[in-house]
Every structure is written in C-alpha cells, then in structure tokens.
Amino acid sequence: MSREDRYADTRRLSQLLVGIAERAKADFAAVVEPLGLPVHLARAVLLLDTPAPMRELADRLCCDRSYITSLADQLEERDLIVRVPGEDRRVKLLSLTPDGIALRDRIADTVTERSMVQVRLTGAQRKALLPLLEVLAGDPDDEQPTERRSAQC
Amino acid sequence: MSREDRYADTRRLSQLLVGIAERAKADFAAVVEPLGLPVHLARAVLLLDTPAPMRELADRLCCDRSYITSLADQLEERDLIVRVPGEDRRVKLLSLTPDGIALRDRIADTVTERSMVQVRLTGAQRKALLPLLEVLAGDPDDEQPTERRSAQC
DNA sequence: TATTGTTATACTCTATAACTATA
DNA sequence: TATAGTTATAGAGTATAACAATA
C-alpha cells in the first residue's frame, strides 16, 4: 500500500473521528439545554461525582481558577451545589445538593441512553471498538516525554 | 449483561471518543500554530481545495456568512487567498494563491503524518476501525427524520 | 514565599441586524 | 421579493492580573 493510500485512510478515519465527536457534543447539548443548563455547567455537574476543591475542577476542565469561580457562582444560584470549607482553610469544596445529585443522575442517564455508541452499535461492535480506541487514546503514562503535557492541557 | 453494565461500557467508549477527538484538535493546533495560523483560518484553508463561494464555506464550517467575511479578510491579508468574482455577480469565490496552496499542502501532510491514527495504529487496526466508525457516524441519509438537521448544523 | 479562591477587566470567537448590489 | 456579501455592534465564554486569606 502506497504512502498516499495510507494517508488517505488516515484522513478518512480522522474525519470520521472528528465528525463523531462533534455530533456527540451536539447531542450532549441537546440533552442538557431543555433542562436550562448551559453545557459548561452540565459538564461541571457531571464531574462533581464527589465533592471536589475548585482547583481540582479547574485542572479537570482545563481552565483557569477564576473561571471556576464564575461557574460555581452560577451553580450555586441554581441551588445545584454548595461551597463547603475544606480542611485546609484556603480550600473550598464544591458539593452537589440533593437537587444537584438528582440532576446529575438524570443527565448521565439520558446522555448514555441516547448516545450513538448505545443506539447504533451492537454489543459485539462495542466490544471490538474498545481495544482500538484504547490504543488510539494511548496509555497516558507512556507518551514520548515531550516535557510539556505534564497535565493534559 | 445488565443494563448498568451496558451503560458503563457506553460511558467508557464515549469518554475515549471525546478524549481522542480533543487530543486530535490539540494536535492540529500544535501543527498549525508555529505557522502563525489560528486554527479557524487553517481549517478554512484546508476546505478550499477548489475555489468556493463564501456562502458554501459558511455552510461547510457551520457558521454565519458574516464570519466568513472576517475569515476571508484575514486570509487575504496574509496573501493566502484572493476573492474572485463569480459568474453570478453577487457571488465571490475564495481562491487559494500559490502561497495558500503551498501552505495547505504543508498543513495537510504534517497533520496526517503526525496523526494518532497514523502513528499509533497498524494497518490492520485501521482496517478494523473503519467500518465501526462508519456505523457510528451513521449514514447521513438514513437519520430518523427529525425535521431539523437538514444541514448538519 | 507559595497557594486558594475572588474580583475586575479585557480579549477572542462568533452571531445578529441592517445595509448594498445583484438576481 | 430573495440572496450574496459587508458592516457595525453585541454577546458568550474564557483568560490575565492584582488581591486577600491562609499555609
């Protein structure tokens, strides 16, 4: 197989991958919007499986601490979280309220139910896909050490 | 297999998919940034394989016509495109200059060479992945007719 | 001194609305 | 009347810098 042919395959696969991910993002937004929740708030809610310091959320969402402050304000206004003081008194933990937990569960269930992975693929196909995606995602611990990428941002 | 187990599989696959796509986007940005080209300009350049009306570019990039005007201005400033009048005198075609063509080829080659699909997967793995992604992406023409989604925006 | 969260502010990307010229 | 592109303007999302409290 020529270099050009391999390249064409790679391009096709890359396009599919990006298209699928964009579609997944749009589907997520479509689930979450009728609940009156902007996408970035919904993502934060899903991450708060367990109460987490704001700093940690910033790391996981790959954004600035100051932005987390504004997310937290918005989530608090909607009574989805409360700020609870951490042991280290500089730290505040974001903790889901009962309303927040209910909403998180609802979002997680709905997103999963409607996921293309769930809807379009058979069990066998899911099973075949998993190892391929794992190779593609790469073992996060065996990257070529490019000195950047200490955190995934 | 229980519903919960299927859900767990689906979530894992979805996370991998999204993670891979985000990584691909970051890699694209990393290729393009040293060339002094913002990501959205680079995407436009790649789409201009053949001269295209601004309206068509708006459709393909899923954005407003006014935004294309500003992209075109920036590309013209960098001597990567020219606006050429269309047959219908309302229309302007965006056409790559020789510099633009050279840059487009360079971007396309570099992105492909460094693509995770190219680097991490064997030929056999790429071959196995293709049909799965095609199912997942879905035949664009056999969606459940949700009346929206006439164009993919 | 370094770190957590906050505030005020500014920037980037993108859309909306009103406009011109053509059809 | 409807469409292509343009202009001016506004909004959403996010970052930067300076700051207070705590370590």
Per residue in B60-97, pLDDT tens? Answer: 999 999 999 999 999 999 999 999 999 999 999 999 99
Average pLDDT, chain B: 90
Per residue in A13-23, pLDDT tens? Answer: 999 998 999 89
pLDDT of residue A151: 54
Q: Which residues of B touch A3 (CB under 8 A)?
A: none
CA distance B143 to A103: 29
Mention every residue, 6+ apart, whose C-beta is less than 8 A from residue B80: B41, B45, B96, B97, B99, B100, B103
Is B17 in contact with A9 (Cβ distance < 8 A)?
no
DSSP symbols for A24-72: HHHHHHHHHGGGT--HHHHHHHHHTTS-EEHHHHHHHHT--HHHHHHHH
In this prediction, what percent of chain B has a pLDDT beyond 90?
76
Residue in chain A lying closest to B119 (CA): A136
Find the distance separating the first CA and the last CA of chain B, reported in whole Å.
36
Question: Which of A11, A12, A17, A62 to mutate to test binding with chain B, by most B CBs within 10 Å of its CB?
Answer: A17
CA distance A131 to B125: 10
Q: Which residues pair with B93 in a beta bridge?
A: B53, B84
Q: Which residues of B touch A5 (CB under 8 A)?
A: none
Q: Which residues of B touch A20 (CB under 8 A)?
A: 17, 21, 133, 136-137
Per residue in A4-43, pLDDT tens? Answer: 888 899 999 999 998 999 899 989 999 998 888 999 999 9
Per residue in A33-69, pLDDT tens? Answer: 888 899 999 999 999 999 999 999 999 999 999 999 9
Per residue in A85-120, pLDDT tens? Answer: 999 999 999 999 999 999 999 999 999 999 999 999
**Distance (Å) from the C-alpha of residue B141 to the closest C-alpha of chain A?**
14
Among B25, B120, B134, whose Cβ lies nearest the Cβ of A136? B120
**Distance (Å) from the C-alpha of residue A59 to the closest C-alpha of chain B?**
15
β A92-96/A81-85 pair status = antiparallel
Determine the distance between A147 (CA) and D6 (C1') in angstroms. 46
pTM of the model: 0.87
Q: Among the listed ranges A133-137, A148-152, B2-6, B70-74, which one has the minimum average pLDDT value?
A: A148-152
Is A116 in contact with B138 (Cβ distance < 8 A)?
yes
Q: For residues B48 and B138, which has the higher predicted lDDT (pLDDT)?
A: B48
SS (H, E, C) chain B: CCHHHHHHHHHHHHHHHHHHHHHHHHHHHHHHHHHCCCHHHHHHHHHCCCCEEHHHHHHHHCCCHHHHHHHHHHHHHCCCEEEEECCCCCCEEEEECHHHHHHHHHHHHHHHHHCHHHHHCCHHHHHHHHHHHHHHHCCHHHCCCCCCCCCCC
Tokens of A114: 């409607």
Determine the distance between A149 (CA) and C1 (C1') in angstroms. 27
Residue in chain A lying closest to B133 (CA): A16
What Rg, from alpha-carbon coordinates, does chain B have? Answer: 19
Mean pLDDT of B25-29: 90
pLDDT of residue A66: 98
Q: Residue B132: pLDDT above 60?
A: yes
Among A1, A14, A128, whose Cβ lies nearest the Cβ of B117? A14
